[in-house]
Structure 1
Amino acid sequence: MSQDPSGGLAAELSSLRTFKGRVDELLRNLGDSEAAPERVADVRLTGAHLGTGFNAAHALYGAYNDVHQQLESLAKLLADQIELLGQAVHGSGTAYADTDDDQRARMWEIQNGIKQQYDPGRDPYAAHSASDGKGGL
């Protein structure tokens, strides 16, 4: 970013296009990988895979299921955040008011979903953020 004569920041369009290209590539790679939210959700063990009739297998399956659900959420949040970043970069070349209503609605949908998943109890910076007056998400 460079400063324009009026004191505001002027975005370098070529840099933004390069960055958007990288974000688009990340989205393609994520969608094609085993970390894609749909693929993470599709691969799941059943309790019978770990054995039946003893408490350790039941406990192990419970732990596995909890971790798997968290991985599903993480994969979806990551994909959503990359999508949101891509849309933000795309929108930075134009005024927010010129952003398509559907894109704007999708950006808010992602933002609200991220807020719903946020747990300040798991955030090592939450206490610091609250005390500095800036708050969390």
Structure 2
Amino acid sequence: MGDLERGAGALRNFQSKINALLTEFENSPGGHQKVAEHTIQRGAFSGTALPFAEADGFFTQYNRVHKELVTLSKLLADQMELLRLGAHAADVGFDNVDEDTRRRFHAIQERLDVAVEEHKKYEEKHTDKPDQPRTDMPNVTKDMG
């Protein structure tokens, strides 16, 4: 614990590191805007002329995963922003934080709370259940008995 920094200088140093990480993340391929740009059309999996259930299923799963990646990227950026705002508030004193910063802090916190609740509901609903049962293969355990 001897190398633990304390005081306003350490907090400003921490805040500048968070700011740099947030900027780097948003400009990286993992930033939510860049992740959102990477989409694939349904026809890329098999064309559009004939029905192809497996390609439709794969496309559905691709879209689901892509949506989740965009959401996770936004949540990560929100968490870093929340940390940045908290470090700023600790630096200037919580009573000296302007109203706009307080509103942003609480708005982000509310978004994160909603995301946690939605994730809990999703987990409860989808625990140990496949999103889409396979219809192209016989029931192996039934056929083996």
| Bin of the TM-score, shorter chain as denominator length | 0.7 to 0.9
| Corresponding residue to 1:12 among 2, 7, 11 | 7
DSSP-derived class of the 1:93 partner: helix
Report the counterpart of residue 101 of structure 1 in structure 2: 99
Report the counterpart of residue 27 of structure 1 in structure 2: 22
- CA-to-aligned-CA distance 1:53-98 (integer Å, 9 cap, x gap): 2101000000000000100100000001101101100110122221
Report the counterpart of residue 126 of structure 1 in structure 2: none
Counterparts of 1:116 and 1:16 in 2: how far apart (Å)? Answer: 29
Which structure 1 residue ranges, 4+ long, deviate > 4 Å from structure 2?
Answer: none
Q: Structure 2-normalised TM-score?
A: 0.73
Structure having the higher Rg: 2
The CA RMSD over aligned residues, in Å, is: 2.0
Report the counterpart of residue 77 of structure 1 in structure 2: 75
Q: Structure 1-normalised TM-score?
A: 0.77
Report the counterpart of residue 87 of structure 2 in structure 1: 89
Report the counterpart of residue 120 of structure 1 in structure 2: 120
Larger RCO, structures 1/2 (Cα 8 Å, 6+ apart): 2
Structure 1 residue runs without a partner (length 5+): 2-10, 124-137
